[in-house]
Structure 1
Amino acid sequence: MKNIEILGVHRNKQFSPNHIGNDDAIFSLTAQALEKTGCNISICSEDEFLKMEKVSQRFIFTMARQKEVVKKMQDLEKSGTVIVNSAFGIENCFRTNMTNGLVDNQIPYPKSFVVPTSYSGDEVFEQLPGKGFWIKRGDFHAIHKEDVTFAYTKKEAKEILREYSLRDIPDAVISEHLVGDLVKFYGVYGTDFFFWFYPYDLNHHKYSAYEEINGKSLYHSFEENNLKTLANASAEVLGVDIYGGDAIVGKDGSFHIIDLNDWPSFAPCRDDAAVFIAKRIVQKFTQKP
């Protein structure tokens, strides 16, 4: 990789709710690891990237999420630019796309329905088991705490949908509430790196109110390799190499993926993760088409 010119496109702060510093840190550590391989790294923001009339680098690593940036990167990929994560994978991680992608590929996922935010019926709610519903904006990731909200009743759920509609959010994912332990994981596809933990034990979660709904961890026994296999399969389905997510572990040790994100913060393990992320980026940049 010596003397290869690489462009790194940072994530805008608005797409790092409560994790701005953590996202900055993993991006910087990855850039440093790439520089140690002899690469020449140039860094820009998402806004600066949009202003570029021509992108001279054929290799890009990015944490970008702005939709206009994702579209520009997809056009570059069609023309031969190699990007990690792929902009097509980034788009696949938008909530509605993620839900459809995982369900269509038989990845264990909560029973869910994608509905327009104008939805006011009852039939969707009547088909979801358990008590309460998760309402999640479908067109993007969670930026505000209301973008992932637990509703105890149909009436409350419909109010959340109405609020989304007023914010011009076109669709939402309505999911059943699963009982079990919440675990968070980070992985780098194509490498041995995989890390998981109980986020409430480390006080590592974007919105503290979720703990009251999910409850304390009961530490159900499960096979770590099975979680890793399922997480990697989810990343492969969505087309992302650098990923993280959340799963619910049931009493019987089974898993359901409830979220899969492109390039999260890796905060509890970023020093180790950055080395593997850089390794995967080099793999992608040097592999033959």
Structure 2
Amino acid sequence: MKALGIYREVQNSPNRESDDALVLKAVMDQLSILKTETSLMTPEDFDRVDVAGYDLIVPMCETYPRLMRLKKIEAETGVMVVNPSDSVLGCYRTRMLDSFARTPGLCYPPTEVRRTTAEANLRPPSFEAESGWWIKRGDVHNTTTCDVVFARNWKEVDAIRREFESREIKDMAVQRHTDGDLIKFYGVGPGQWFTWFYHDPSTARRLPFEIEDLAAQAEMAAAAVKVEIFGGDAIVTPEERIFVIDINSWPSFARVRTEASVQIARRLRLRRTASRKA
């Protein structure tokens, strides 16, 4: 089997460029042990070369033109791509929220998607938000600290909106702030492997929850956007409720890179073996 890994764009790896690269390299190293011939290339190299002849493509790249090229390659050659282009696009925030809304049982904070024009934001959302709102760019996940910004009141939202508009960001998500412990989770499958940790252990209140409830919510979110290698964020509230905030394709797995690389390589081999038997 021949596998190609494509690194993530530097601009899409804010403050974690090396972590993203290291986990992909670790997965390729594991695949090599599992009798797979592997190659790695930058997104810029991918733009220039013919990638015919691979049985498996493992892309961390996220820009729209590259995903469209990958989608065309998938359709024309039948090569297995994990995560597929449509699934990565499904993690773009507006698409993700639409998928969440169509997933029974999945819990996420009240959210409205709006255009970034002044006319679309004359009034606050219909839901109450006494503790404020998180204003998030509507396409990709944050590439700078200005992409997800907290607003204590509706007056502050206008400055955020104007900054988005100045960067030609067309849509934004307005999400109610939810009090609780912020958790980061990682998974493979869904259903093969799952782990979690506090985003900031020093400030976590360690509110009680059931890990199976967290795993179930995370895996529902992953299934909603059809990603197999995933990470995300969730809130555990004082009432022991769990709200998924985000899901994304191919996170850095920085704190658990060694274990994650083993689990991801195993998943990729299993998927490839199953496809050949089908």
Instruction: State how far apart, in whole Å, the 2-side matches of 1:113 and 1:154 are.
Output: 14
Question: Does 2:126 match 1:129?
Answer: no
Instruction: State how far apart, in whole Å, the 1-side matches of 2:168 and 2:54 are.
Output: 36
Q: 1:125 is paired with a residue of what secondary structure?
A: coil
Q: Please say if residues 190 and 280 of structure 1, whose CA atoms lie closer than 8 Å, have aligned partners that are also in contact.
A: no
Q: 1:145 is paired with a residue of what secondary structure?
A: coil
Q: Please say if residues 191 and 276 of structure 1, whose CA atoms lie closer than 8 Å, have aligned partners that are also in contact.
A: no
1:59 and 1:220, CA in 2 relative to 1: closer, same or farther beyond 3 A?
same
1:203-222 pair list within 5 angstroms: 216-222=203-209
Instruction: State how far apart, in whole Å, the 1-side matches of 2:190 and 2:180 are.
Output: 29
Q: How far apart are 1:191 and its partner, in Å?
A: 5.0
Question: Does 2:42 match 1:45?
Answer: yes
Instruction: State how far apart, in whole Å, the 2-side matches of 1:76 and 1:156 are.
Output: 44
Partner of 1:260: 247
Residue identity opposite 1:116 in structure 2: R
Unaligned runs of 5+ in 1: 203-215
1:284 and 1:161, CA in 2 relative to 1: closer, same or farther beyond 3 A?
same
Partner of 1:117: 116
Unaligned runs of 5+ in 2: none
Q: How far apart are 1:237 and its partner, in Å?
A: 1.1
Instruction: State how far apart, in whole Å, the 2-side matches of 1:130 and 1:188 are.
Output: 36
Partner of 1:93: 91
1:62-77 pair list within 5 angstroms: 62-77=59-74
Q: How far apart are 1:174 and its partner, in Å?
A: 0.6
Instruction: State how far apart, in whole Å, the 2-side matches of 1:263 and 1:247 are.
Output: 17
Q: 1:100 is paired with a residue of what secondary structure?
A: helix
Q: 1:55 is paired with a residue of what secondary structure?
A: coil
Q: 1:123 is paired with a residue of what secondary structure?
A: coil
Instruction: State how far apart, in whole Å, the 1-side matches of 2:211 and 2:41 are.
Output: 37
What do the CA deviations read for 1:33-54 (whole angstroms, capped 9, x no partner)? 0000111111111111111245
What do the CA deviations read for 1:163-212 (whole angstroms, capped 9, x no partner)? 1111011101111000111111111115532111111127xxxxxxxxxx
1:222 and 1:54, CA in 2 relative to 1: closer, same or farther beyond 3 A?
closer
Residue identity opposite 1:109 in structure 2: Y
Residue identity opposite 1:6 in structure 2: A
Partner of 2:184: 184
Q: Please say if residues 84 and 284 of structure 1, whose CA atoms lie closer than 8 Å, have aligned partners that are also in contact.
A: no
Q: How far apart are 1:131 and its partner, in Å?
A: 2.2
Question: Does 2:149 match 1:152?
Answer: no
Instruction: State how far apart, in whole Å, the 2-side matches of 1:55 and 1:170 are.
Output: 36
Instruction: State how far apart, in whole Å, the 1-side matches of 2:237 and 2:256 are.
Output: 25
TM-score, normalised to structure 1's length? Answer: 0.90
What do the CA deviations read for 1:3-23 (whole angstroms, capped 9, x no partner)? x11111111211110111211
Instruction: State how far apart, in whole Å, the 2-side matches of 1:25 and 1:262 are.
Output: 16
Question: Does 2:9 match 1:12?
Answer: yes
RMSD of the TM alignment (CA)? 1.5
TM-score, normalised to structure 2's length? Answer: 0.94
Deviates further, 50-59 or 72-81:
50-59
Match of 1:78 among 50, 75, 80: 75
What do the CA deviations read for 1:120-164 (whole angstroms, capped 9, x no partner)? 434343534222111000111210101000011211111111111
Partner of 1:238: 225
Instruction: State how far apart, in whole Å, the 2-side matches of 1:192 and 1:60 are.
Output: 20
Q: 1:131 is paired with a residue of what secondary structure?
A: coil
Q: How far apart are 1:119 and its partner, in Å?
A: 4.0
Q: How far apart are 1:92 and its partner, in Å?
A: 0.5
Instruction: State how far apart, in whole Å, the 1-side matches of 2:128 and 2:16 are.
Output: 32
Instruction: State how far apart, in whole Å, the 2-side matches of 1:191 and 1:258 are.
Output: 20
Q: How many residues align?
A: 273
Residue identity opposite 1:240 in structure 2: V
Q: 2:117 is paired with a residue of what secondary structure?
A: coil
Identity percentage of aligned residues: 32
Q: How far apart are 1:102 and its partner, in Å?
A: 1.0
Instruction: State how far apart, in whole Å, the 2-side matches of 1:148 and 1:170 are.
Output: 15
Deviates further, 62-71 or 116-125:
116-125
